[in-house]
Amino acid sequence: MKLLRRRFLHLAAGAAALSVIPMLLAETTVTQAQTSPDMRVTLLGTGTPVPRADRFGPSTLIEAGSEKLVFDCGRGCPIRLQQKGVPLKEVKLFVTHLHSDHVNGIVDLCSPAGYLDQSRDERRHS
């Protein structure tokens, strides 16, 4: 029963997150909307507060046009973003609530973002 409730809450949070996309994309011009109407939703992690080796913490990536929106940043979120080839500095982060399993990847997402997305030559001059 707890697992069902947890899944429902996670889906409800995702649905709430999806409801803000039209507001974020309201400034998109008609030309842009016609050339890139695709929107992709990727579950980066669906884990629980109890760490498991086979599941990363809760995190959802929504790619809408050129926007890269991440809802929640659970354990392993930056790893999954890198696996998908998403530059960390292009991500806009939204947090649905402040439970530890939804925010404990924020430090890894924010602190090295500029450093990891630079080439070796750029890092030498930083």
Bridge partner residues of 68 (DSSP): 63, 91
Catalytic residue among 38, 54, 72, 101: 101
Backbone angles phi, psi at 42, to 5 degrees: -125, 125
Please tell me the distance from the alpha carbon of residue 39 to that of residue 3, in angstroms, as a whole number: 28
Q: Which of 41, 42, 63, 45 is nearest to 54 (CA)?
A: 45
Please tell me the distance from the alpha carbon of residue 41 to that of residue 51, in angstroms, as a whole number: 23
- The answer to whether 121 is a known catalytic residue is no
Residues marked active site are found at: 101
